[in-house]
């Protein structure tokens, strides 16, 4: 006979405790443990479960059904997923409100429906009439996708089992309601139960499910951490609503790489793939003091982006360090190395660094480009060949002793930069560009000799 059990679940990380604590023992957050009541089965029911015979991994492939991936028709999204959606998989895509998650899902389902696949759009936030208004401005078969507006989990699962779509979008997982639980939709218990039952149904019926998720004000996926563990793939849809460019990157992917990134541009008729993002960013480079082109790698694709820096005298103590698209702690390291080994002190100045286009760069190869951009802004002198309108390109990791470290795929970075006519490419040793071994050598190559002395305005 089942008996009720009370547990306390952390709303930040999903950790469970039998008793209430003021501070979560797992993540350290305060006042996040919420009591939940569950049904706990007795030992007799556990003992009655049937045992299964294990198979060796060498023969496991014979027991696993193989099905080709389902291409969404959106090349940038398919590459991030690893070639398309895997039947029976569950993909969670999160992003800020208004970033374009629902638009991207409408486009993907429309392309799949146009190719003859069975699709279903489950809207738990909007009515079908509202979904129609968004789909009407999209090309392809977006208007041919069957849709329901439902928040009850039981009704959604019953529809999935009856319709048996090949691909289903549920928008969003935080607004579905499991009636057997007392918590409000979006609470820790509700999200965990909803996601668990959706995953079970998707695996059993071989339905590829795309879950749309909310994010917190810090940009993390809302809900318990166990939500990310339940799904097969987690995609982050990043960008700013005021900017036109959006990026999709994989945080977790059981069926592909987590290094790929897709670039989109938001237009009036929906999201448009940016097939040659480097051309867009290099063409928009300002060629002014404080501007450097970074030759970065996003997965298997080289990407040229403009890094801008502004250095001004500060009236605050401590001075401001404002960063967009780059890690703030990494900027502190770059500024320290720049002052100690480059002879360019900015300790009393406000420093602003921006990766143009709303792109976020996480790789260490961006260190040198940021350092040269700050040096250029501090000296108020443009880099590269301003007379011919050619910016300077750079990449490389900075060591604490001022040396430049080798980073992956230098030949692809340099080939991408030279494709757009960039001649000066400052790179670490072994990169086949304008190789320099230290930061001081990079500054000597990039800055004209008469501009190397400190001259920050007072």
Which tens digit of pLDDT belongs to each residue from 348-378? 999 999 998 878 898 899 999 999 999 999 9
How high is the mean pLDDT of the chain? 87
> For residue 259, what pLDDT is reported?
80
Using the CB atoms, write b or e for 124-143: b if 16+ within 10 Å. bebeeeebeeebeebebbbe
The CATH architecture assigned to 67-275 reads: 3-Layer(aba) Sandwich (3.40)
Distance, in Å, from the CA atom of 370 to the CA atom of 234, rounded to the nearest integer, reads 29
Stated pTM of the model = 0.76
Confidence of residue 62 (pLDDT cuts 50, 70, 90): low
pLDDT beyond 60 at 455? no
> For residue 357, what pLDDT is reported?
80
**39 vs 454, higher pLDDT:** 39
**54 vs 398, higher pLDDT:** 398
pLDDT beyond 80 at 194? yes
Distance, in Å, from the CA atom of 67 to the CA atom of 342, rounded to the nearest integer, reads 56
Q: Are 156 and 120 in contact (CB under 8 A)?
A: no
Confidence of residue 454 (pLDDT cuts 50, 70, 90): very low
For 279-448, CATH number?
Answer: 3.30.230.10
Instruction: Indicate the angle between helix axes 439-446 and 367-379, nearest 10 degrees.
Output: 50
> For residue 393, what pLDDT is reported?
95
Confidence of residue 170 (pLDDT cuts 50, 70, 90): very high
Confidence of residue 456 (pLDDT cuts 50, 70, 90): very low
> For residue 458, what pLDDT is reported?
36
> For residue 232, what pLDDT is reported?
95
Using the CB atoms, write b or e for 47-59: b if 16+ within 10 Å. eeeeeeeeeeeee
> For residue 12, what pLDDT is reported?
74
The span from the first CA to the last CA of the chain, in angstroms, equals 79
The neighbouring-strand residues paired with 266 are: 271
241-278 pLDDT, tens per residue? 777 888 898 999 999 888 888 889 888 878 899 888 88
pLDDT beyond 80 at 197? yes
pLDDT beyond 70 at 379? yes
> For residue 450, what pLDDT is reported?
42
> For residue 183, what pLDDT is reported?
77
Q: Are 93 and 101 in contact (CB under 8 A)?
A: yes
Residues 6+ apart with CB under 8 A from 154: 178, 179
Distance, in Å, from the CA atom of 312 to the CA atom of 314, rounded to the nearest integer, reads 6
> For residue 1, what pLDDT is reported?
41
Distance, in Å, from the CA atom of 417 to the CA atom of 414, rounded to the nearest integer, reads 5
Tokens 């501009």 found at: 451
Distance, in Å, from the CA atom of 425 to the CA atom of 435, rounded to the nearest integer, reads 8
> For residue 362, what pLDDT is reported?
86
Highest mean pLDDT among 31-40, 51-60, 114-123: 114-123
pLDDT beyond 70 at 60? no
């Amino acid at each position: 006979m089942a008996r009720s059990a009370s547990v306390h679940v952390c709303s930040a990380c999903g950790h469970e405790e039998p008793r209430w604590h003021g501070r979560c023992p797992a993540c350290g957050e305060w006042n996040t443990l919420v009591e939940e009541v569950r049904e706990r089965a007795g030992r007799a029911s556990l003992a009655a479960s049937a045992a299964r015979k294990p198979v060796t991994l060498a023969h496991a492939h014979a027991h696993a059904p193989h099905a080709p991936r389902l291409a969404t028709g959106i090349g940038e999204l398919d590459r991030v997923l690893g070639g398309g959606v895997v039947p029976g998989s569950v993909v969670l895509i999160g992003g800020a409100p208004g970033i374009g998650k629902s638009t991207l899902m409408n486009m993907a389902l429309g392309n799949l429906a146009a190719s003859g696949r069975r699709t279903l759009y489950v809207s738990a936030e909007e009515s079908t009439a509202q979904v129609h208004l968004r789909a009407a401005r999209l090309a392809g078969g977006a208007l041919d996708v069957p849709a329901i507006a439902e928040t009850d989990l039981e009704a959604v699962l019953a529809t999935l089992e009856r319709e048996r779509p090949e691909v289903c979008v549920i928008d969003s997982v935080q607004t579905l309601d499991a009636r057997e639980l007392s918590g409000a939709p979006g609470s820790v218990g509700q999200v965990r139960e909803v996601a668990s039952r959706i995953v079970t149904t998707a695996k059993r019926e071989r339905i590829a499910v795309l879950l749309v998720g909310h994010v917190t004000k810090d940009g993390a996926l809302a809900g318990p951490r166990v939500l990310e563990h339940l799904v097969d793939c987690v995609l982050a849809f990043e960008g700013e609503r005021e900017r036109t460019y959006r990026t999709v990157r994989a945080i977790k992917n059981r069926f592909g790489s987590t290094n790929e990134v897709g670039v989109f541009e938001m237009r009036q008729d929906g999201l448009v793939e940016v097939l040659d993002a480097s051309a867009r960013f290099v063409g928009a480079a300002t060629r002014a003091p404080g501007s450097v082109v970074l030759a970065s790698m996003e997965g298997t694709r080289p990407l040229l982006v403009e890094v801008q820096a502004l250095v001004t005298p500060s009236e605050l103590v401590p001075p401001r360090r404002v960063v967009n698209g780059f890690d703030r702690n990494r900027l502190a390291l770059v500024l320290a190395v720049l002052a100690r080994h480059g002879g360019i002190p900015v300790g009393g100045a406000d420093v602003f660094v921006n990766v143009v286009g709303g792109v976020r760069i996480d790789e260490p190869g961006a260190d040198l480009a940021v350092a040269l951009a700050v040096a250029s802004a501090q000296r108020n002198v443009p880099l590269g060949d301003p007379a011919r309108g050619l910016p300077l390109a750079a990449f490389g990791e900075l060591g604490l002793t001022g040396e430049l470290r080798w980073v992956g795929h230098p030949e692809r970075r340099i080939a991408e930069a030279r494709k757009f006519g960039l001649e000066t490419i400052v790179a670490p040793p072994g990169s086949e560009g304008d190789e320099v071994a230290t930061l001081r050598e990079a500054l000597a190559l990039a800055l004209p000799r008469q501009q190397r002395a400190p001259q920050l305005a007072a």
